[in-house]
Structure 1
C-alpha cells in the first residue's frame, strides 16, 4: 500500500475553488510581476510576521541569493553549510563568488 509523505491532492481539494479564482484573477490582469496580488501578499506577510518589509521571490534559490547578498557575502568569502541539503544551497553561495564549506553531519540525526 502506498502512503504519500505529503498528500498534496487532499490539500489542493480543500482550497481548489479559492486557488482557481486567484489564478484567474492574475491571468485576467496580465500582471505577472509586481501586480496587485504580489503587493497584497507582501503587505499581508509583513503584517503577519511583524516586520517592516517582505519580499516574495520566484524560488528558494532566489531567496538564498538575496539573503546572502543582504549579509554582504561575495567573492572570496567562505560560507559554512551542511552537505545534507538541496544543491541550490551551494549553487547560491557559488553564484556570488563565495565558496561553500561543507561541515560534517551526524549519520544518525543529520545534525
Structure 2
C-alpha cells in the first residue's frame, strides 16, 4: 500500500479519536443532562465518523474495491444520532429534568 494512503488512514484515525476523546470528556465533565447531551451527539459522532472513513479508505485500497459496509455504517450513524438526541431532549423536557444554573433557555417555563 502506498505511503500517502497509510498517512491518510493514520490522520483520519487520529482526528477521529481526538473527537471521540473530546466527546467522552464532555460527557464526563458537563454538569447537567442537556449539556451532557452535546458530547456524544456532536463530537463523538464525528469521531466515529472519522474512524469509519479511515476504515473505508484502508479496505478500499487493501481489498478488491470500494467497501460499502463502511458507507452504510456512516450513513446509519449520521442519521440516527441526531434523531435519538432530539428524542432524549424532548423526553427530558417533558419530565422537567433538573438543569444547572449555567444552562440557558427553559422552554417548559414559557
TM-score normalised by structure 2 residue count:
0.21
Structure with the greater alpha carbon radius of gyration: 1
Higher helix share: 2
Structure with higher RCO (Cα < 8 A, 6+ apart): 2
